Amino acid sequence: MTPVIVPPKGGRPRPGIAQLKRTLYFLSRNTLAIIGLAIVLFFVVVALFSLFSPLSNQSLQQYCSVTYGTNGTVGCQPVCTYDASSGPAPAANCYPTYSGNVGFVGPTVDLTHLTGGPLPLGSMQVSSGTNQYYYSIYDGLLKGSAWSLGIAATIVLSGASIGLVLGAIAGYRGGYTDEVIMRFTDIFLSIPGILLVLVIVASFAGYVQGLEGRMLLLVGAFIITWWPFYTRIVRGQVLVTREQKYVEASRASGAGTGRILTKHIIPNSLYPVFVQLSLDVGAIPLLLGGLIFLGFQIYPSPYFPEWGAMSANSVANLQSLIESCQFGACVFPWWQILFPGLTVFLFAISVNFLSDGLRDALDPRLRR
Amino acid sequence: MRMWVYVVRRILLLFPVIIGVMTITFAILSALPIQTHLIATFGASKIPYTPMVPCSDVGQPGNGQCRNPTYFQLVHQLGLDQPIWVQWAEYMKNSLTLNWGTVNYHSNAASAFSLTTSIPVTTVLGWYLPYTLELAALSLIIILAVALPLGNYSAVYRNRPIDQAARVMSFSGFALPGFLLATLVLFAAVILSGGATPTCNSNSTHYFDWYGSWPPFPQCANQPTWIGTYIQTSPTGFPTIDAILHGDWFLAGESVRRMLLPALVIAYGSVAGILRFVRNSMLEVLNLDFIRTARAKGVPETAVVSRHAGRNSLNVTVTVLGLTFAGFIGGFPIIEDVFYLHGVGLLLAKSIQPTQDFGLIFGTTLLFTIIVVVANILVDILYAYLDPRVRLG
Amino acid sequence: MAAAAPVPAVLPVPPPPPPMAAPASLARSPVAATSADAHRIGNVILDVRNLRTYFFTYDGVVKALDGVSFNIRKGETVGLVGETGCGKSVTAFSITKLIADPPGRIMDGMILYKGSNLLWGIEREAKFKPLKGTNRVKVTRRFRRIRQGQDRMTAVRGGGISMIFQEPTSALNPIFSISDQISEALLLHRGIPIVRGLLDASTHDPATIAARSAAIEEAIAGLVKIARQNDPETLRTAADAFGRAAGLPSLGTQAYYIFRSAWADPEAKVPELRKALRRLHLSGLRENYIRHQSRLLELQNELKLAYMLEMRNGKPETRRRRAISAKRWGSKLRGLGYGVWGVRGYVNKALKEETFWETVALLEGVSIANPVQVARGYPHELSGGMLQRVMIAMALSSEPELLIADEPTTALDVTIQAQILELMRDLKSRIGTAILLITHDLGVIAEVADRVCVMYAGNVVEVAPVKELYRHPLHPYTQGLLNSIPRMDQPDKKLESIPGSVPNLIYPPTGCRFHPRCPFAMPKCKEARPPMTVEGEGHQVACYLYNGPVAKG
């Protein structure tokens, strides 16, 4: 008697695709994750726009030309500046500065800035030595999106790749290799994170020249700090996956180490890595801001448009601003703190929502 | 295996890790240009700029370039011309015997803390470490008091409003830049407690009330007589404990109050991770078989959660707390900077820029690392105590 | 109170059972209309009617139970048999409402226990909305109502209906000792008699005290004399006498264990015995605490009765429940002082000792050889067989009307299995509990059960007294099952297997769920589910091969 059971329509999808569809389904039911995803995508679009749009295609070198003094100090000369309080930009690549003792320009709701008008989000001041620079917050945030996202993505992806490779090797091989790699990882894990970054950047700052050099140093320091976390995660996951029956079956049917690693072990270890990855992407602009707040000159110019830098500079100025405000009536420059801070906060929290949604969607223990 | 065997094994593992860390710091140190070392030790003014000078300056024949005797004298004085493994051995010996060098009184840190003579790094660290430890302890208490009940409620009322609200709150704590929150909290406290008008040394006295440490100007605030010039306290070095030992409850309260705002800021940032962990561990326990048995016995739901599930989810929570505490010791440079709390984080922050003080930098690094490693081992031992199955491996 | 829940259209609706005449009295629902059963009609303690439990998963709706009906009479052992995945455990969990709520839901049905419908209020606990284009259903759960439903079940769980589970090694809380866990059950369900007993035994009336002391001294002397004889039986009797003299039976158990190994020098143990007697002298604080506990237990009992009343009448007794809860909160507040760290341990000591020795007596009852060590020990120190005995002790401590045993011996080896079954038979004859034994092992059923229900893919396909089932299995599935067992008297018999495999419960077969594998399938079998028909005394079958009268109820 042939069994008469109605199969699901459409045939059976491949397991990988089915898993992906499942994950997306659960993500879509999580409102916070959707909000997070939307905001993150928005920022990504903004970053791409600021990189490729014809309106603001200034590369960093055009903000200022960096000069190095004889004893290691760094200076910055704006290439083309115009006095924004007295008229529109004379050329497309000119950078606005503001003179006069009303150094603070509050926000206006006027989007004509896109074609060279006044500032929609207000201006921000940064001191470098005896120079005061004022620049547009809107401008900075826009260009900063590319920098923040780019730096964060680079650091996290590199760290994750290194961690994936090392963790997979350590977890799969086991034994002596495992011990050696884990001890090595433990050593790096023992040094508290921000400390290691500080130490590396402080020590090697004298070696590097130029914007690229400094950025490489910064990114490199972060990668050196970050890879142990991923190694540990991947190793833990590989240890579990290694014991699964399908790996044993695969080995019994003749698959070599490479094939097993690429086809079974690594794809199954990716999920916690994704979750951690998304969390770290949000945390890095905050850490960069923290470094700047402590006074670190990790960027070539004091008004480098990166979100963390902007919010840190504004907060670092806060105390002196309040003091100076006490001796005479002045406007408390709330926009300098609010807008950069809000941007970083929005980015970090939406990434967090997304990562949380991913974790819930990928957790096999939650009954579905 | 027996408990003490496990303990001994874990402690023995401590040494390779510490030696590894010291090797790494040594590697970084030795990668620095010799110039930096010289400047750091002797001051920029005394260093001849180049190691080689034209022969005519020195009066020696040769191919036009001659070794600068002062330069190489100074290099030899610092021992930087020896082979690398000799330097490594020397460094190891010094580190392990706690001879971590002296504070460089040319540096920014020294001037910030009014250190005018060559005080050993270990002494300075000993002054500042208790403040960081007390801050970490207070933060931990606050985190415990918030994250444990909130995490348990989030697990029991999964995906209901309280879970969502706790999640959003903890995420906002994670996403806010620490310096932003710290500064805002400090100024809010100052303004709320009476205003920011300056009455003493261009700052308001209320500002000094919420400041992390006693202000350096004796006329602005009441400093207890037993707090010395370099803010060392006696006899233990921990401000609150010393105040209690002196019987001075008011000052103990003051000391705690100064740490309260920084601890709140730290806790707000850290609750996210721990909340998540408590929630997940509780969820896992609630799915176990004996919970079902308890329900089948007729135990009311509140007792099932609090008695049966609660005690069981505590094991893993303790581990996480221990690890968080270890992570704390990474120092809170930013928080201590904002609140000017005389802790090791601030020491590190001041010693890094603009003129580096390598003695302090690497001394602090080593100290933090040792604390983290020791904390990790203590957590492992505690976990083995709570869960006998762990001792098998 | 028998209205069916509104069923969403996309979910396949089984054919509704034939319309039922309104039962004359809820306690006497007619089950099988044969004369031989007439005298037992009044004895039905559990009546499951048309139980439907679905699990709402990502892959679709798993229709685990689709109209399960059976009943259990007082004192009888009913076996629930079927393959893995046929829904036996789900049935057990549905009865006590322990189904994991996301993703499962009890959709429909009635479970009548002592006249109360345990599934009252189910329809208001969730709303269902089928999603177009997929086979998923969106379930909106009303958590407050679900929580209320669970609270209502505390009236029944453990006290009236107890359960034991499949894996004894993980079924007990690892951080509490055995005696702690059994004491919890004891206090919940037999708390009032225990507390009253303790209070009565610790009376302050001087006349009673005087009389008692005399009796106690006499009993002690007797004990010492008998202990020297090293005879457990007489020692037991003497110890019981001592317990009666002292006014507290647990003291008898304690005396027995104190003197059990002291045949060489019983005199040395007398101080220990006197120390145990101090339990009776309750200080003021302890007595107050015990009265406080007694009050709490009484209020808890009232609450349970209110819940049972709700389920019986189908009307919420909110006012009464709120009043009781308010009184409970009042009591708890007054007893807040006892919660201070350190105080609780002191005031609780007498009660704890009392329940400890009651636990020891219970463990004796389940044939555990060294009950004192076991009671003091922890679950991870015991083997599976011992733990299952402990579970049985815990479940039977409240003398329930019904014991649901979910595959109790599956995780144990065969020799232990035999012991456990022997124990269950013995307890059944002593206490008179009805047992719902769930298993896939037909041999176990043959040993222990009085009646058997055979389940397949979420439906009950045959119900019969056990001998009848083995002699004349009617349903093709039952026949297939019995054919696949090796028999001692037919050593060359070929072991037949049933072709095909268990159906996917997300897309179950239409009509009779067994028809794809049935050798006798007819076109009629595909269309509609066959109703249960009566084919003999107490023998019912759901198959179109038979044309008996349709069973009512």
Q: pLDDT tens digits for A7-54?
A: 445 555 566 677 777 778 888 877 888 999 999 999 999 888 877 765
User: Chains meeting B at 3+ CB pairs closer than 8 A?
Assistant: A, C
Beta carbons within 10 angstroms of residue C65's beta carbon? 30
Q: From the CA of A76, how many Å to the nearest CA of chain B?
A: 17
**C-alpha to C-alpha distance for A232 and A223, rounded to whole angstroms:** 15
The reply to whether residue B299 touches residue C188, judged by beta carbons under 8 angstroms, is yes
> C76 with C428: CB under 8 angstroms?
no
DSSP E strand boundaries for chain B: 52-54, 65-67
Candidates B50, B75, B79, B53; CA nearest to B64 is B53
pLDDT in tens, C286-342: 888 888 888 889 998 999 988 888 888 888 888 888 888 888 888 888 877 777 767
**C-alpha to C-alpha distance for A81 and A93, rounded to whole angstroms:** 9
The reply to whether residue A349 touches residue B172, judged by beta carbons under 8 angstroms, is yes
**C-alpha to C-alpha distance for A56 and A89, rounded to whole angstroms:** 13
> B283 with B158: CB under 8 angstroms?
yes
The reply to whether residue B177 touches residue A341, judged by beta carbons under 8 angstroms, is yes
Q: For an interface test with B, which of A189, A292, A322, A347 has the most B Cβ atoms less than 10 Å from its Cβ?
A: A322
pLDDT in tens, C42-98: 688 899 999 999 998 888 889 999 889 998 988 889 999 988 888 889 999 999 999
Chain B residue numbers touching C328 (CB-CB < 8 A): none
Beta carbons within 10 angstroms of residue C384's beta carbon? 16
Beta-carbon contacts below 8 Å between A and C: 36
pLDDT at B353: 66
Q: From the CA of A7, how many Å to the nearest CA of chain C?
A: 8
Candidates A290, A184, A277; CA nearest to A233 is A277
Tell me what percent of the residues of chain B surpass a pLDDT of 70: 77
Strand partners, C141: C126
Map residue B120 onto helix, strand or coil. strand
Chain B residue numbers touching C172 (CB-CB < 8 A): 290, 293
Q: Which chain C residues have any C-beta within 8 angstroms of a chain B C-beta? A: 96, 98, 143, 147, 150-151, 154, 156-159, 162-163, 165, 167, 170-176, 184-185, 188-189, 391, 394
The reply to whether residue C509 touches residue A368, judged by beta carbons under 8 angstroms, is no
**B386 versus A47: which is more confidently predicted?**
A47
**Among the partner residues A1, A2, A6, nearest to C507 by beta-carbon distance:** A6
The reply to whether residue B311 touches residue C175, judged by beta carbons under 8 angstroms, is yes
Contacts 24+ apart (CB under 8 A), C546-550: C546/C474, C549/C33, C550/C18
Residue-by-residue DSSP string for C210-277: HHHHHHHHHHHHHHHHHHTTT-HHHHHHHHHHHHHHHT-HHHHHHHHHHHTT-SS-GGGGHHHHHHHH
**A304 versus A76: which is more confidently predicted?**
A304
**C-alpha to C-alpha distance for A116 and A346, rounded to whole angstroms:** 27
Q: From the CA of C466, how many Å to the nearest CA of chain B?
A: 28
Amino acid in the structure at residue C61: V
The reply to whether residue B354 touches residue A289, judged by beta carbons under 8 angstroms, is no
pLDDT in tens, A182-198: 888 888 877 777 778 87
For residue A4, pLDDT over 80 is answered with no
Tokens 């100074």 belong to residue: B74
Which burial class, exposed, middle or buried, applies to C503 when counting CB atoms under 10 A from its CB (0-12, 13-18, 19+)? buried
Which burial class, exposed, middle or buried, applies to C25 when counting CB atoms under 10 A from its CB (0-12, 13-18, 19+)? exposed
The reply to whether residue A25 touches residue C58, judged by beta carbons under 8 angstroms, is yes
The reply to whether residue B289 touches residue C159, judged by beta carbons under 8 angstroms, is no
Amino acid in the structure at residue C543: C
The reply to whether residue C58 touches residue A6, judged by beta carbons under 8 angstroms, is no
pLDDT at A346: 93
The reply to whether residue A7 touches residue C135, judged by beta carbons under 8 angstroms, is no
Tokens 């009050």 belong to residue: C295
> C201 with C194: CB under 8 angstroms?
no
> A133 with A169: CB under 8 angstroms?
no
Chain C residue numbers touching B164 (CB-CB < 8 A): none
For residue A67, pLDDT over 90 is answered with no
Amino acid in the structure at residue C489: D
pLDDT in tens, B350-382: 777 666 777 787 888 888 888 877 877 777 777
Domains of chain B and CATH, by start: 3-121 (no CATH), 127-392 (1.10.3720.10)
The reply to whether residue C516 touches residue A367, judged by beta carbons under 8 angstroms, is no
Mean pLDDT, rounded, for B80-93:
84
The reply to whether residue B361 touches residue A297, judged by beta carbons under 8 angstroms, is no
**C-alpha to C-alpha distance for B266 and B339, rounded to whole angstroms:** 12
Q: From the CA of B152, how many Å to the nearest CA of chain C?
A: 17
> B79 with B90: CB under 8 angstroms?
yes
Chain B residue numbers touching C167 (CB-CB < 8 A): 289
Tokens of B354: 């603009």
Find the angle CA(A208)-CA(A210)-CA(A216) to the nearest 5 degrees: 60
Chain A residue numbers touching C516 (CB-CB < 8 A): 1-5
Q: From the CA of A203, how many Å to the nearest CA of chain B?
A: 6
Amino acid in the structure at residue C384: G
Beta-carbon contacts below 8 Å between A and B: 151
Q: Which chain A residues have any C-beta within 8 angstroms of a chain C C-beta? A: 1-8, 22, 25-26, 367-368
The reply to whether residue A289 touches residue B202, judged by beta carbons under 8 angstroms, is no
pLDDT in tens, C107-130: 989 999 988 888 888 888 888 888
Residue C100 near chain A (CB below 8 Å)? yes
The reply to whether residue C173 touches residue B308, judged by beta carbons under 8 angstroms, is yes
Domains of chain A, by residue range, sit at: 65-139+313-331, 145-309+345-366
Map residue B58 onto helix, strand or coil. helix
Terminal CA-CA length for chain B: 8
Please determine, for the modelled complex, whether the ipTM score is greater than 0.85. Answer: no
Mean pLDDT, rounded, for B278-302:
88
Chain B residue numbers touching C96 (CB-CB < 8 A): 296
**Among the partner residues B16, B175, B183, nearest to A282 by beta-carbon distance:** B175
**C-alpha to C-alpha distance for B290 and C174, rounded to whole angstroms:** 8
The reply to whether residue C504 touches residue A3, judged by beta carbons under 8 angstroms, is no
pTM for this predicted structure: 0.77
Give the residue ranges of DSSP H helices in chain A.
Answer: 15-28, 31-52, 137-173, 175-190, 193-204, 210-242, 245-252, 257-260, 266-293, 307-326, 334-362
- Tens digit of pLDDT at every position of chain C (553 positions): 333 444 444 444 444 433 333 333 322 333 333 333 433 456 888 999 999 999 988 888 899 998 899 989 888 899 999 888 888 899 999 999 999 888 889 998 999 998 888 888 888 888 888 888 777 888 888 888 898 889 889 989 988 899 999 889 989 988 888 999 999 999 999 888 888 888 888 777 778 788 888 888 888 888 888 877 778 888 888 888 888 888 788 888 888 888 887 777 777 778 888 787 877 777 778 888 888 888 889 998 999 988 888 888 888 888 888 888 888 888 888 877 777 767 777 778 888 888 999 999 999 888 888 899 999 988 888 888 899 999 999 998 888 889 999 998 888 888 888 888 888 888 888 888 899 999 988 888 888 899 999 999 989 999 999 999 988 899 999 988 888 877 777 777 777 788 888 888 888 888 889 888 888 888 888 888 888 898 888 899 998 888 888 876 5
Characterize B163-187 residue by residue with b for buried, 16 or more Cβ atoms within 10 angstroms of its Cβ, and e for exposed: beebbeebbbbbbbbbbbbbbbbbb
The reply to whether residue C158 touches residue B298, judged by beta carbons under 8 angstroms, is yes
Tokens of B143: 């985190």
Strand partners, C139: C128
**Sequence-distant (≥ 6) Cβ neighbours of residue A313 within 8 angstroms:** A124, A126, A292, A302, A303
> B360 with B121: CB under 8 angstroms?
yes
Q: For an interface test with C, which of A6, A26, A29 has the most C Cβ atoms less than 10 Å from its Cβ?
A: A6
> C433 with C422: CB under 8 angstroms?
no
pLDDT at C179: 93
**Residue C437 is inside which H or E element, if any?**
strand C434-439
Which burial class, exposed, middle or buried, applies to B229 when counting CB atoms under 10 A from its CB (0-12, 13-18, 19+)? exposed
Chain C residue numbers touching A25 (CB-CB < 8 A): 58
**Among the partner residues C58, C60, C509, nearest to A5 by beta-carbon distance:** C509
pLDDT at B14: 79
Topology (CATH) of A145-309+345-366:
MetI-like fold (1.10.3720)
Strand partners, C111: C48
Amino acid in the structure at residue A106: G
Residue B161 near chain A (CB below 8 Å)? no
Map residue C125 onto helix, strand or coil. coil
Map residue C540 onto helix, strand or coil. strand
Chain C residue numbers touching B160 (CB-CB < 8 A): 143
Distances (CA, A) of A122 to A98, A137, A138, A333, A368: 11, 6, 7, 9, 49
Strand partners, A96: A82
For residue A96, pLDDT over 70 is answered with no
For residue A321, pLDDT over 70 is answered with no
The reply to whether residue B290 touches residue C172, judged by beta carbons under 8 angstroms, is yes
The reply to whether residue A345 touches residue B172, judged by beta carbons under 8 angstroms, is yes
**C-alpha to C-alpha distance for A275 and A236, rounded to whole angstroms:** 14
